[in-house]
């Protein structure tokens, strides 16, 4: 009986040292894992967890095919979801990387770097997201916001860059995206309208710059010296309000004006403004184009 | 004698019983220890596996991110790298799926953080639900939800937007049948305007104890405050009107002073009015306090 007890004691001692060693190992690995998770947000749950377990032969009962099939299914669902969000938000995201700067139970600070495309505008935003748990309520705050946008046509962005420096001061991430989207929607409206008129009246309509030009030139094919310029700009206030502004400018040689003083042309801008108010941009522009092309049909 | 011998047998028996019991507990303890060792071993192996996978995944993910940012030009190069990886690891396809999984999760999370509408489809695509996030100066506030029927026509089914936001008339004015987003954009502007004004009012109450809020409404489209001019003990009634409900800045500022009728026309107060027109009210009040205009 006594010897048996000693054997047991001996085994217990061995097991206890093993436990101590393993606990230290596990703790070290957990620390390493926490450190790792700062660089990549790897949600080790669901299918990903199964895949990981399978990957290291921890679960034998399921074949790779089965694990892969389920993971594939989940990835396809996510792809579909992302497609929907992209379509509905009008914003295409290229990449999003996060880095955890602080994680102390109730407070989580993460650094985000997101890049993407909104119509023709490419953007890159960086910010800190702080989440604080307070009486079961999650308070989320954005700070240290940094935004940059890039577009083919630089003059488009004069207003937008003033607004952007304000947005950085207020860390208003949501306002930035609301304004960016409205701005590019209004630019798209203009481009669509301009393109439509170019297709419909190729003899009258021409553009000075590239496709995303703010100015559409109108002139009669037989009177190339005289014409009208439609300046359609999209204004952004420093508070992010977006308003399209359309002006009509006359381009008539001084001499022609002296020889044929025309009141209709002199007041063209004012007349166009009231046309815009009554008909809206498309119909107002259409009637101007018809007038200048001396089109018979009405 | 009889009694003592009886007692001797009994005590011997109970001693045997105690020994057997202690052996049992010892074995039980050892079993517990063995189980603990086994559990820790599994935990350690799982952690090792996760860390190892993490390392590889990080590499795959990084190349995936690079591919997504740089676009088409790099694609050819990536395919070559992919082939190389294929040789390196038999699990490469699984790894690529896992990396794409993490990337998709991050992108969806980013859509959510930047104020995306978080569209969810329900009942075989016949209904969609959209969330509208609000925030003011970096602080996330309420989120509202709108559920739509898609068929036979696009129609709002239910929502939790406060009744003083005219959801139905905004829906009528927008071209919802062809463009739900245009409607959501407009509604989002109204909700963020409201959330911003409400937050400003909260900050005024928190930060300006000497400012008395006399009147405001649920939509926070009107704000009447009693301001005190330091030293002179004069009070000024200041009214801010927000007729554009998508904005957080007033469309009109009016100042009244019982004791000094001339005060609203003084250059200093004209200046204050334009400050209040251009700066969010809680910040404008801070500037005025720093300049010793109000207490």
Q: Who among B36, B140, B248 is closest to A19 (CB)?
A: B36
Residue B76: band (very low, low, confident or very high) from pLDDT cuts 50, 70, 90: very low
Q: What is the dihedral of CA A184, A185, A189, A192, to 10 degrees?
A: 70
Mean pLDDT (chain B) is 87
A141/B139 touch (CB, cutoff 8 Å), yes or no? yes
Q: Which residue of A has its CA nearest to B119?
A: A85
A178/B115 touch (CB, cutoff 8 Å), yes or no? yes
**Among candidate residues B140, B160, B195, the one where a domain is terminated:** B195
Cα of A206 to nearest chain B Cα, Å = 30
Predicted local distance difference test score (pLDDT) of residue A152: 66
What span, in angstroms and rounded, lies between the C-alpha atoms of A20 and A13?
A: 11
Mean pLDDT of A271-291: 85
Residue linked to tokens 């927008």: B174
- Classify B30 in phi/psi space as left (phi over 0), alpha (psi -120 to 50) or beta: alpha
Residue B80: band (very low, low, confident or very high) from pLDDT cuts 50, 70, 90: very low
Task: Give the DSSP H or E segment for A278.
Answer: helix A268-279
What span, in angstroms and rounded, lies between the C-alpha atoms of B89 and A253?
A: 74
Mean pLDDT of A29-58: 67
Decide if B104 is inside a domain.
no
B69/A95 touch (CB, cutoff 8 Å), yes or no? yes
**Among candidate residues B149, B173, B195, the one where a domain is terminated:** B195
Predicted local distance difference test score (pLDDT) of residue A131: 94
What are B125's two structure tokens? Answer: 């695509």
Predicted local distance difference test score (pLDDT) of residue A110: 93
Mean pLDDT of B13-35: 85
Is the model more confident about A267 or about B12? B12
Task: Give the DSSP H or E segment for A242.
Answer: strand A242-251
Q: What is the pLDDT of residues B166-178, one digit of tens each?
A: 999 999 888 888 8
Decide if B67 is inside a domain.
no
Q: How many CB pairs under 8 A join A and B?
A: 217
Query: B225 and B180, same structural domain?
Result: no
Decide if B58 is inside a domain.
no
Predicted local distance difference test score (pLDDT) of residue B83: 47
A173/B104 touch (CB, cutoff 8 Å), yes or no? no
Query: B242 and B180, same structural domain?
Result: no
pLDDT beyond 80 at A48 = no
What are B215's two structure tokens? Answer: 């009147």
| Domain containing residue B284 | 208-290
Peptide bond before residue B152 is cis, with ω within 30 degrees of 0: yes
Query: B191 and B223, same structural domain?
Result: no
Cα of B136 to nearest chain A Cα, Å = 7
Cβ proximity of B260 and B268 under 8 Å: no
Q: Which residue of B has its CA nearest to A139?
A: B140
B44/A26 touch (CB, cutoff 8 Å), yes or no? yes
Residue A43: band (very low, low, confident or very high) from pLDDT cuts 50, 70, 90: low
Mean pLDDT of B225-252: 92
B108/A140 touch (CB, cutoff 8 Å), yes or no? no
Decide if B137 is inside a domain.
yes
Q: Who among A5, A29, A42 is closest to B48 (CB)?
A: A29
Residues of chain A contacting B43 with CB distance shorter than 8 Å: 26
Decide if B150 is inside a domain.
yes
Q: Which residue of A has its CA nearest to B283?
A: A170
Choose, out of A33, A52, A173, the residue to mutate when testing the contact with B (most B CBs < 10 Å): A52
B104/A82 touch (CB, cutoff 8 Å), yes or no? yes
pLDDT beyond 50 at B90 = yes
Cα of B37 to nearest chain A Cα, Å = 6
pLDDT beyond 90 at B79 = no
B247/A15 touch (CB, cutoff 8 Å), yes or no? no
Neighbours of B31 (CB within 10 A): 11
Q: What is the pLDDT of residues A79-111, one digit of tens each?
A: 999 998 999 899 999 999 888 898 887 899 999
Residues of chain A contacting B36 with CB distance shorter than 8 Å: 15, 19
Q: Who among A12, A88, A96 is closest to B106 (CB)?
A: A96
A88/B48 touch (CB, cutoff 8 Å), yes or no? no
Q: What ipTM was estimated for this complex? A: 0.81
pLDDT beyond 80 at B59 = yes
A173/B138 touch (CB, cutoff 8 Å), yes or no? yes
Query: B218 and B177, same structural domain?
Result: no
A172/B138 touch (CB, cutoff 8 Å), yes or no? yes
Cα of A228 to nearest chain B Cα, Å = 32
Cα of B21 to nearest chain A Cα, Å = 12
Name B25's Cβ contacts closer than 8 Å, sequence gap at least 6. Answer: none
Among B111, B240, B125, CA closest to A96: B111
Residues of chain B contacting A124 with CB distance shorter than 8 Å: none
Alpha-helical regions (H) of chain B = 2-70, 72-88, 92-113, 167-173, 180-207, 267-278, 281-290
B30/A15 touch (CB, cutoff 8 Å), yes or no? yes
pLDDT beyond 90 at A157 = no
**Among candidate residues B172, B195, B218, the one where a domain is terminated:** B195
Neighbours of A98 (CB within 10 A): 20
A40/B49 touch (CB, cutoff 8 Å), yes or no? no
What span, in angstroms and rounded, lies between the C-alpha atoms of B26 and B183?
A: 73
Query: B220 and B188, same structural domain?
Result: no
Supply angle C-alpha A102, A103, A105, rounded to 5: 145
Long-range contacts of A95-102 (CB under 8 A, 24+ apart): A95/B65, A95/B68, A95/B69, A95/B103, A95/B107, A96/B106, A96/B107, A96/B109, A96/B110, A97/A40, A97/B65, A97/B106, A98/A40, A98/A41, A98/B106, A99/A38, A99/A39, A100/A37, A100/A38, A100/A41, A101/A38, A101/A128
Is the model more confident about B279 or about B59? B279
Choose, out of B69, B113, B133, B150, the residue to mutate when testing the contact with A (most A CBs < 10 Å): B113
A12/B45 touch (CB, cutoff 8 Å), yes or no? no
pLDDT beyond 60 at A297 = no
Is the model more confident about B67 or about A155? B67
Q: What is the number of structural domains in chain B? A: 2
Mean pLDDT lowest for which of A119-133, A206-220, B209-223? A206-220
Cα of A131 to nearest chain B Cα, Å = 10
pLDDT beyond 70 at A189 = yes
Q: What is the dihedral of CA B217, B219, B223, B224, to 10 degrees?
A: -10
Mean pLDDT of B207-223: 94
Helix/strand/coil for A255: helix
Residues of chain A contacting B23 with CB distance shorter than 8 Å: 1, 4-5, 8
Predicted local distance difference test score (pLDDT) of residue B170: 93
Cβ proximity of B21 and A34 under 8 Å: no
pLDDT beyond 80 at A276 = yes
Give me the percent of chain B exceeding a pLDDT of 70.
Answer: 90
What span, in angstroms and rounded, lies between the C-alpha atoms of A217 and A20?
A: 82
Q: Who among B65, B104, B136 is closest to A79 (CB)?
A: B104
Cβ proximity of B111 and B174 under 8 Å: no
B116/A129 touch (CB, cutoff 8 Å), yes or no? no
Decide if B18 is inside a domain.
no
Among A71, A42, A236, CA closest to B54: A42
Decide if B143 is inside a domain.
yes
Name A176's Cβ contacts closer than 8 Å, sequence gap at least 6. Answer: A125, A145, A147, A164, A167, A240
Decide if B34 is inside a domain.
no
Name B178's Cβ contacts closer than 8 Å, sequence gap at least 6. Answer: none
Q: CA distances (Å), A266 to each of A228, A248, A273, A288, in order?
A: 12, 11, 13, 15
pLDDT beyond 80 at A143 = yes
Residue B73: band (very low, low, confident or very high) from pLDDT cuts 50, 70, 90: very low
Cα of A116 to nearest chain B Cα, Å = 8
A95/B117 touch (CB, cutoff 8 Å), yes or no? no
Query: B222 and B188, same structural domain?
Result: no
């Amino acid at each position: 009986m006594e010897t048996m007890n000693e054997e047991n004691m001996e085994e217990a001692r061995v097991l206890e040292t093993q436990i101590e060693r393993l606990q230290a190992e596990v703790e070290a690995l957990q620390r390493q894992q926490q450190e790792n998770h700062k660089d990549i947000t790897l949600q080790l749950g669901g299918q990903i967890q199964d895949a990981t377990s399978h990957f290291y032969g921890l679960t034998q009962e399921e074949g790779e095919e089965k694990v892969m099939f389920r993971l594939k299914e989940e990835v396809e669902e996510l792809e579909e979801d992302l497609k929907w969000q992209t379509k509905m938000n009008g914003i295409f995201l290229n990449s999003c990387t996060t880095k955890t700067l602080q994680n102390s139970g109730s407070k989580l600070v993460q650094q985000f770097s997101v890049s993407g495309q909104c119509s023709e505008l490419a953007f890159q935003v960086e910010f800190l997201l702080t989440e604080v748990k307070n009486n079961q309520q999650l308070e989320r705050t954005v700070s240290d916001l940094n935004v940059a946008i890039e577009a083919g046509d630089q003059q488009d962005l004069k207003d937008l860059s003033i607004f952007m420096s304000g947005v950085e001061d207020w860390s208003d991430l949501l306002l930035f995206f609301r304004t960016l989207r409205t701005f590019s929607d209004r630019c798209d409206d203009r481009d669509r309208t301009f393109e439509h008129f170019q297709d419909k009246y190729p003899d009258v309509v021409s553009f000075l710059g590239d496709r995303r030009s703010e100015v559409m030139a109108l002139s009669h094919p037989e009177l190339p010296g005289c014409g009208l310029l439609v300046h359609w700009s999209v204004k952004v206030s420093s508070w992010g309000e977006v308003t399209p502004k359309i002006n009509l400018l006359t381009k008539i040689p001084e001499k022609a004006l002296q020889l044929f003083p025309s009141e209709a042309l002199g007041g063209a801008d004012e007349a166009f403004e009231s046309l815009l108010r009554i008909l809206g941009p498309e119909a107002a522009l259409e009637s101007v184009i018809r007038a200048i092309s001396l089109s018979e049909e009405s | 004698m009889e009694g003592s011998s009886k007692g001797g047998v009994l005590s011997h028996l109970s001693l045997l019983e105690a020994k057997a019991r202690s052996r049992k507990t010892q074995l039980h303890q050892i079993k517990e220890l063995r189980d603990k060792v086994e559990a820790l071993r599994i935990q350690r192996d799982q952690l090792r596996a996760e860390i190892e996978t993490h390392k590889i995944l990080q590499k795959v993910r990084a190349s995936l991110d690079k591919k997504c940012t740089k676009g088409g030009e790099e694609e050819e190069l990536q395919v070559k790298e992919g082939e190389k990886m294929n040789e390196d690891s038999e699990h490469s396809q699984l790894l690529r799926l896992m990396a794409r999984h993490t990337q998709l999760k991050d992108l969806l999370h980013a859509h959510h953080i930047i104020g995306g509408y978080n569209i969810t489809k329900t009942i075989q695509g016949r209904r969609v639900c959209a969330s509208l996030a609000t925030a003011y100066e970096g602080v996330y506030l309420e989120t509202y939800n709108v559920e739509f029927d898609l068929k036979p026509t696009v129609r709002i089914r239910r929502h939790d937007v406060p009744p003083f936001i005219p959801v139905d008339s905004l829906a009528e004015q927008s071209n919802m049948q062809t463009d739900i987003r245009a409607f959501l954009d407009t509604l989002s502007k109204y909700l963020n305007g409201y959330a911003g004004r409400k937050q400003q009012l909260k900050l005024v109450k928190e930060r300006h104890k000497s400012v008395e809020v006399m009147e405001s409404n649920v939509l926070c489209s009107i704000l009447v405050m009693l301001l005190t001019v330091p030293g002179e003990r004069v009070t000024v009634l200041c009214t801010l009107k927000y007729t554009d409900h998508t904005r957080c800045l007033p469309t009109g500022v009016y100042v009244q002073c019982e004791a000094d009728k001339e005060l609203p026309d003084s250059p200093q107060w004209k200046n204050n009015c334009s400050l209040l027109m251009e700066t969010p009210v809680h910040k404008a009040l801070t500037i005025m306090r720093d300049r010793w205009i109000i207490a």
